[in-house]
Structure 1
Amino acid sequence: MNITIVHYNTIPVSLYGGTERVIWYLGKELAKLGHRITYLVEQGSYCDFATVKAINHSEDIWLQIPEDTDVVHFQHQPNITENAKHPYIVTMHGNAGSNEQLDTNTVFVSKNHAERYGSTTFVYNGLDWDDYSSPNLKKEEYFHFLGKAAWRIKNVRGAINVVTKAKNKRLKVLGGHRFNFKMGVRFTLSPKISFYGMVGGTQKNELLNKSKGLIFPVLWHEPFGLAIIESLYYGCPIFGTPYGSLTELISNDVGYLSNKRSDLTNAIENVTTFSNEKCSEYAIDCFNSKKMAISYVELYEKAVSGIILNIEKPKLKNAQNSKFLEWYE
């Protein structure tokens, strides 16, 4: 098939770039499977295994899609589907507002994500583990937080408290700084906490590879969480909250979930009860880019055949009453 992937950002990934990382590996795997890939993305993008075309924001997006495209894969909700000239699907990477109706061909990134919008259509994100360094299962004496610390829903303060309340434990924060005036002059003086800002590539992988585990006490329904599978790949069990995809992805074999700080502190003090090998094998087997690509091909074939992926337009079934989900210090 000729597949056009549309995304309003540049590729390849810069630093973390979750969606960009996913669609890069998706296109790479699709090309290996014999499909021809075109990326319709922002100016400045480049790729050695696909055709790259820059988006013109002054022109209808449908007019920019190559004529020989068999199926279009949007990474955002298309504004005008009445103009659709090709079969298409839409991956929903985040959480939509309570009043937003999504396209009938929307695909979610976890079962929990789909169910919250009344859908059963989802594909797990996958990564190309060949691009990552080999897991080192000999760990140093620290845990890590991975995410945009400026987003309060990621709860970096909770992660810090989980570790500072534990005996002889340290935390490395990947994705934030010790001082953040935008967050109400947030600062952390504890010497047990180190900050690395937004890191990516080799530096990020090296930090994950030596970590004992990921502290991930999110205060929203996480749609998927690349931080989860990257950490698992490097043999890190997950210590997080029971929200969104975490209840689905994290079993007792590879992590511990609670919305109570004291429970998570106790759990990390017993981190040696988890198998680093089992965590890594789980990520490699279940969240690889080839598996993701094969799942998407099945949905592409449905779209080309005229099959609608959702009978009704997906819409959030139960609006969250508060800005943040419960967290008990």
Structure 2
Amino acid sequence: MHVLLVNHAPIPVFAYGGTERVIWDLGRALVQMGHRVSYLVPEGSHCDFAQVLPIRPGLSWAEQVPADVDVVHFQFNPKEDIGRPFLVTEHGNGRDPDPLALNTVFVSRNHAERHGSQRFVHNGLDWQAYGPVDFGRARGHHHFLGKAAWRVKNVKGAIRVAALAGVELDVLGGTRLNLRRGFRFTWSPRVHFFGMVGGQQKFDLLNASSGLILPVRWHEPFGLAVIESLYFGCPVFATPYGALPELVPEGCGTLSSSASALAEAVRGWQGDRRACHAHVLERFSAGAMARGYLQCYEQVLAGEPLNAQRPHMAGSAFDQAWKE
């Protein structure tokens, strides 16, 4: 099967690169399974295991799909009928109330249900690229991982939980001074900021962390930060919104909308870091993701829609409860 993966962001991954990292690992896994993969992405992209085609602005998507492609996999809604078998992965929580494409796939069960759908494929990652985990290493700090400037990620809440728990916090994805939503300066010397990190620097920081504190205030569509942290043996202390209950099983952390409850869980956690690691190896690998999408590709190629009707949002994903 020849699969064309289409995205608006360049590859390979730079810095954090959520969707780009997912489709890179998906493409590699498909190739390892014997399929052919091409990418239609912005100019300047490159890949050592698949053909890369640059997006040509001004042309329709239909005009840019090679004749020998079997199925086109968009990472956004193309909002046009390309006259070829295609599907769309919806990665985010949009605000557009218009229905999505009939062949839309979501990234978690909760994400799908909130759009009136049952079709989802959990994200997975190529864990070989993350390197070994040092389970014997001393772990002095906890961490927050996400775009701290986004209010829904609630870095303020993470800092509060860490303060109540009496632990130091590494903020991966934010700065001490933030002017994007007014003036916010974090004075505490027990909170350390690393900006947007990726690659080996991120791996090293996660390998030295005691756990992830992530009290998001929206329905998380998936949560790559969660499975990355679990891979490195870090339990997750987060809110119970969106996909998070699907990602964090009993023994691998605590979910609560209360800062004091999460702080108590941080102080008292005595679980098994190896169990956290094993959980994501089994459930959230790039191979598992590829197998899920292959089922979708085959259904689309057989002329069967992925949804009975076009999915659409039901209610808001934003402003979920949080008790300081």
Same fold (TM over 0.5): yes
Counterpart amino acid of residue 15 in structure 2? L
Instruction: Quote the Cα distance in structure 1 between the aligned partners of 2:173 and 2:316.
Output: 28
Instruction: Quote the Cα distance in structure 1 between the aligned partners of 2:24 and 2:316.
Output: 32
Instruction: Quote the Cα distance in structure 2 between the aligned partners of 1:281 and 1:291.
Output: 14
Counterpart amino acid of residue 123 in structure 1? V
Instruction: Quote the Cα distance in structure 2 between the aligned partners of 1:3 and 1:120.
Output: 23
Instruction: Quote the Cα distance in structure 1 between the aligned partners of 2:97 and 2:126.
Output: 36
1:319 aligns with 2:316: yes
Question: For residue 131 of structure 2, what is the aligned residue in structure 1?
Answer: 133
Question: For residue 256 of structure 2, what is the aligned residue in structure 1?
Answer: 258
Question: For residue 45 of structure 2, what is the aligned residue in structure 1?
Answer: 45
Q: Which runs of 5+ in 2 are unaligned?
A: none
Question: For residue 165 of structure 1, what is the aligned residue in structure 2?
Answer: 164
Question: For residue 249 of structure 1, what is the aligned residue in structure 2?
Answer: 247
Which deviations, in whole Å up to 9, do the C-alpha atoms of 1:73-132 show, x marking residues without a partner? 000001212xx2310110000012262211110000000110111111000100011111
Question: For residue 279 of structure 2, what is the aligned residue in structure 1?
Answer: 282
Instruction: Quote the Cα distance in structure 2 between the aligned partners of 1:281 and 1:328.
Output: 32
Question: For residue 154 of structure 2, what is the aligned residue in structure 1?
Answer: 155
Q: Is the partner of 2:209 in helix, strand or coil? A: coil
Which deviations, in whole Å up to 9, do the C-alpha atoms of 1:41-74 show, x marking residues without a partner? 0011000100000001110011101101100000
Counterpart amino acid of residue 198 in structure 1? M
Which deviations, in whole Å up to 9, do the C-alpha atoms of 1:213-247 show, x marking residues without a partner? 00010000000010000000000010000100012
Return 136-145 or 299-308, whichever deviates more.
136-145
Q: Is the partner of 2:159 in helix, strand or coil? A: helix
CA contact (8 A) 1:222 1:245 kept: yes
Instruction: Quote the Cα distance in structure 1 between the aligned partners of 2:254 and 2:80.
Output: 43
Q: Is the partner of 1:39 in helix, strand or coil? A: strand
Q: Percent identity?
A: 49
Instruction: Quote the Cα distance in structure 2 between the aligned partners of 1:48 and 1:63.
Output: 25
Instruction: Quote the Cα distance in structure 2 between the aligned partners of 1:98 and 1:62.
Output: 24
Identify which of 241, 266, 289 aligns with 1:292.
Answer: 289
1:3 aligns with 2:3: yes
Q: Is the partner of 2:122 in helix, strand or coil? A: coil
Instruction: Quote the Cα distance in structure 2 between the aligned partners of 1:66 and 1:166.
Output: 56
Instruction: Quote the Cα distance in structure 1 between the aligned partners of 2:191 and 2:128.
Output: 31
Q: Which runs of 5+ in 1 are unaligned?
A: none
Q: Is the partner of 1:159 in helix, strand or coil? A: helix
Q: Is the partner of 1:23 in helix, strand or coil? A: helix
Instruction: Quote the Cα distance in structure 1 between the aligned partners of 2:287 and 2:245.
Output: 24
Question: For residue 102 of structure 1, what is the aligned residue in structure 2?
Answer: 100
CA contact (8 A) 2:79 2:101 kept: no
Question: For residue 217 of structure 1, what is the aligned residue in structure 2?
Answer: 215
Instruction: Quote the Cα distance in structure 1 between the aligned partners of 2:169 and 2:60.
Output: 47
Instruction: Quote the Cα distance in structure 2 between the aligned partners of 1:145 and 1:139.
Output: 18
Q: Is the partner of 1:171 in helix, strand or coil? A: strand
Using the size of structure 1 for normalisation, the TM-score is 0.96
CA contact (8 A) 1:98 1:319 kept: no
Return 194-203 or 134-143, whichever deviates more.
134-143
Using the size of structure 2 for normalisation, the TM-score is 0.98
CA apart distance, 1:183? 2.5
CA apart distance, 1:140? 1.4
Question: For residue 225 of structure 2, what is the aligned residue in structure 1?
Answer: 227
CA contact (8 A) 2:254 2:265 kept: yes
Aligned-residue RMSD, C-alpha: 1.0
Q: Is the partner of 1:63 in helix, strand or coil? A: helix
1:305 aligns with 2:305: no
Return 70-79 or 90-99, whichever deviates more.
90-99
1:175 aligns with 2:173: yes
CA apart distance, 1:166? 1.8
Counterpart amino acid of residue 155 in structure 1? N
Instruction: Quote the Cα distance in structure 2 between the aligned partners of 1:19 and 1:139.
Output: 32
Instruction: Quote the Cα distance in structure 2 between the aligned partners of 1:221 and 1:139.
Output: 33
Aligned length: 323
1:142 aligns with 2:141: yes
Identify which of 185, 188, 193 aligns with 1:187.
Answer: 185
CA apart distance, 1:139? 3.7
Question: For residue 29 of structure 2, what is the aligned residue in structure 1?
Answer: 29
